A and B are shown apart, each in its own frame.
Chain A
Amino acid sequence: GAGVSQSPSNKVTEKGKDVELRCDPISGHTALYWYRQSLGQGLEFLIYFQGNSAPDKSGLPSDRFSAERTGGSVSTLTIQRTQQEDSAVYLCASSPRQGNYEQYFGPGTRLTVT
């Protein structure tokens, strides 16, 4: 079946602009995660959605970052007033249900802020 998809695959933006990154999870998966992978570093957790519960935003690095998940499916990660340090690969993952810790990752969006 279809896996997790993300768009765009690459995004180049100017410093100070806003960007939106999209994630389509696997159909039927109730949990959705966003991670950031910076050059030379591991993956950093950003935010977690589970069903209709309030999201866990504990990993968002600043108030310029926000995310929403509409209808329990598609999610959008928004970065406002982008900075050069926001340049990274943003990965989305989904999981079948709460308590199942196996996560399925999308190919990521490579964001470059110039």
Chain B
Amino acid sequence: AQSVTQLGSHVSVSEGALVLLRCNYSSSVPPYLFWYVQYPNQGLQLLLKYTSAATLVKGINGFEAEFKKSETSFHLTKPSAHMSDAAEYFCAVSEKGTGANNLFFGTGTRLTVIP
């Protein structure tokens, strides 16, 4: 069964500092991986996705993530945090090739940006 672990339910960074949100997955086959962002009282917005092309994936708003098969990780980074990055971030996995199209989500990481 698929599972996703996000280390740290809350992360605080200073404005301009590096953002690192951690995500590890468990899957019997290489999955598709996603990061979504949720702003207050809004739905989820796709930041980026990994679907077996380049292992370093660039997304919107300056975010990127690297798929590391040996570490079963897909950590999200941004070189310099902006106040507008404050939100909740969800890592998700979908198992490709099985016809199972639903996403399995982590429990989320709330990012706070300190001015």
Interface residues of A (CB under 8 A from B): 4, 31, 33, 35, 40-45, 48, 50, 56, 59, 91, 93, 95, 98-99, 101-108
Contacts and interface: CB of A to CB of B under 8 A. Distances in A.
A42 B106 contact: yes
A50 B101 contact: yes
Contacts of A31: 101
Nearest to B99: A98
Which of A31, A41, A103 has the most chain B CB within a 10 Å cutoff? A103
Contacts of A102: 34, 46, 49
B74 interface: no
B45 interface: yes
Given A101-B32, A101-B94, A107-B43, A43 B49 contact: no
Contacts, number: 60
Interface string B1-43: 0001000000000000000000000000000101010000111
A29 B43 CA distance: 18
> How big is the B interface, by class?
20 to 34
A101 B42 contact: no
Contacts of A41: 107
Interface in B82-115: 90, 92, 94, 96, 99-108
A91 B49 contact: no
Given A41-B107, A102-B49, A33 B102 contact: yes
Nearest to A104: B46
Contact of B90 (A42, A48, A50, A106): A42
B21 to A, nearest CB: 14
